[in-house]
Chain A
Amino acid sequence: MGAATMERPTVQADYLLHLADNALVLGQRNAEWCGHGPILEEDIAMANVSLDLIGQARLLYQEAARRIGGDATEDTLAYFRDAPAFRNYTLLELPHRVGLVGYAQSDIDYSVTLVRNFLYGSLMVLVWDALQRSSDEALAAIAAKSLKEAKYHLRHASDWMVRLGDGSDESHARMQAALDHLMPYTQEFWTASDVESQAQASGAAVDVAALRAQWDALVDEVLADATLQRPALPKGYITEGKRGVHSEHLSYLLAEMQSLARAHPGATW
């Protein structure tokens, strides 16, 4: 594993793909609200969040492509890998609704969107903050930019948690239901995958498990203001999206996202 002594340690491409896939999958989901938001101002705000995430994904994929070499580009990585190759948290690929199977039809619910952005955003402000000190210079630069954006996203989501959690009876009920649905998926954050362990060993990445106490504190503070109850998590299945074992939802998301590009392999757009 040892990096060359004259070079600064860097992470391997797979780790960049984990970060990139997170950003792309969540960016794709958030963009589903374009034109359908609960009020015009929120349509614009959510599009901003989505744009930022896709921007992060692009930087990370481009850097990953450089390290992979060959024909790899941001687009070959985004459009021509299948679900098992994707390393995003399962939390991020879920549709905007409370638990139904992959091919069930139902309305989308903004409460799920906001709570998910809050839970992920709380993690990423901590992760990007640590990574901006990474010995991997390219990653550190991306982290510094992403941290600014993540803070903005977290503020947006947190404000809504409080506004709606401590809002009307209906808004409170929806936010609580979304929280109950999504919280179990956050367990995936805390046990390192092989990719994460390897990246950590290089010294250039962050030990996410070590961030847990801070994340808990961040989350609990907002939940208290929002008058929301943190659900108890029974022992059971912990999702494994970052290991390439996803929910039924990812293959639908990728089918839609990748269909046009795959219909014209080799074309430039």
Chain B
Amino acid sequence: MYTQAMDIPDGQPALKPVARTASEAEAALQARFDARIDADGRIEPQDWMPEAYRKTLVRQISQHAHSEIVGMLPEGNWISRAPSLKRKAILIAKVQDEGGHGLYLYSAAETLGTSRDQMFDALHTGKAKYSSIFNYPTLNWADVGVIGWLVDGAAIMNQIPLCRCSYGPYARAMVRVCKEESFHQRQGYESLLQMMKGTQAQKDMVQDAVNRWWWKCLAMFGPPDADSPNSAQGMRWGIKRMSNDDLRQKFVDATVPQAQVLGVTLPDPDLKWNEERGHWDFGAIDWDEFWNTVNGNGPCNKERLATRVKAWNDGAWLREGALAHEAKQRERTMKEAA
């Protein structure tokens, strides 16, 4: 369960003087690291950490950041067509917040020894993933509200525990993110409430959106813990605080009453209150569909990624131009000083 200390050959003969060997140092540092984790303390950027812990965090934080950025696209799809100025403004603000969240998270990941360029390269070449929920299309205006209600709702469930994660910069970024995210969920739900009080066409739009998104949101929490080998290590390191199944159940329990207030039907004939368990029972998730999408063959994967790659490539002239300007300025300053 513990991470192995880095494999360092111990070439020191037994009778050498007191100077500590590298592997003794590693073991001691590992022990201190473990103790701090056990005491629910924080690990900060300069602290010693097992290489596996660092790599796992780089992957998790950067993929979280990529999710925010790619997540701008399904919602950005409806900015130009938002049906009222108020909704347009709310949606732009939301998409902008998501960009900001991506930025906080890239910033946290960079403290672990990676760079923005490296992370984008990993995303653009398909080595790094983003949350698969963003591989589905937004087909009508109600999708925007449903994403706010369900997708952000699910994300909040995942993210609140992360505010207590062991790695300081990640935990602090998550506190900032969570503050802003609850506003998003409320705005999404409120817009659906408004539509459900409106015309039949609006109600149909909302129900259609719920039908398409409900199961995908349940799958967002990931496969059952029995099938999730990373969960245990994540929990051990204080990165993951609750199991996938527990989070998923919590989400269903919170959301069913919200759906009832809205007046929408959740598309699950097996959804039933279980008095004994004190929870809502729900039907089987289609994990094949989930894995197909995670592995790159969902409805929008290729378009989402190609769009991000294009934005990056098309922006190269601007990024380079800015650097060229800065170089010129520095040269001028040096010449003036001379």
Contact = CB atoms under 8 A, between A and B. Distances in A.
Ranked 5 nearest A-B pairs via Cβ: A38-B315, A171-B321, A167-B321, A47-B96, A168-B324
Contacts of B325: 162-164, 166-168, 171
B87 A269 contact: yes
B255 interface: no
Given A111-B318, A269-B86, 11 more contacts: A31-B92, A34-B72, A34-B95, A36-B310, A38-B314, A39-B319, A44-B103, A47-B93, A51-B96, A58-B89, A261-B83
A171 B320 contact: yes
A43 B89 contact: no
A44 B92 CA distance: 10
B84 A75 contact: yes
B141 interface: yes
Contacts of A48: 96
A34 B96 contact: yes
Interface in A25-54: 28, 31-32, 34-44, 47-48, 50-51, 54
A111 B317 CA distance: 10
A32 B195 CA distance: 25
Interface string B64-95: 00000100110010011111111111001101
A101 interface: no
A256 interface: yes
A261 B198 CA distance: 13
B237 interface: no
A125 interface: no
B6 to A, nearest CB: 34
Given A35-B72, A40-B102, A267 B92 contact: no
A164 B315 CA distance: 12
Interface string A61-97: 1000000000000110011000000000000000000
A267 B315 contact: no
B73 A166 contact: no
A260 B318 contact: no
A7 interface: no
B100 interface: yes
A55 B84 CA distance: 12
B284 interface: no
B318 A39 contact: yes
B307 interface: yes
Given A35-B307, A44-B96, A51-B93, A267 B83 contact: yes
14 contacts: A34-B92, A34-B96, A35-B69, A35-B72, A38-B319, A40-B69, A40-B99, A51-B89, A54-B89, A58-B86, A107-B314, A171-B317, A260-B82, A269-B195
Contacts of B202: 264, 267
B103 A171 contact: no
Interface of A: 24, 28, 31-32, 34-44, 47-48, 50-51, 54-55, 57-58, 61, 74-75, 78-79, 107, 110-111, 162-164, 166-168, 170-172, 174, 256-257, 259-261, 264, 266-269
Nearest to B103: A40
B221 interface: no
A162 B320 CA distance: 14
A4 B99 CA distance: 51
A58 B324 contact: no
B72 A269 contact: no
B208 to A, nearest CB: 14
Q: Which of B95, B99, B103, B198 has the most CB of A within 10 A?
A: B99
A174 B103 contact: no
Contacts of A28: 80
A157 B253 CA distance: 49
Q: Which of B82, B89, B201, B317 has the most CB of A within 10 A?
A: B317
A232 B76 CA distance: 39
Contacts of A54: 85, 88-89, 92
B24 to A, nearest CB: 44
B318 A164 contact: yes
Contacts of A264: 83, 199, 201-202
B317 A170 contact: yes
A21 to B, nearest CB: 12
B191 interface: yes
Interface in B193-225: 194-195, 197-199, 201-202
Given A34-B72, A51-B89, A39 B315 contact: yes
A260 B319 CA distance: 36
Nearest to B106: A40
B311 interface: yes
B22 interface: no
Contacts of A269: 83-84, 86-87, 191, 194-195, 198
Contacts of A35: 69, 72-73, 76, 95, 99, 307, 311
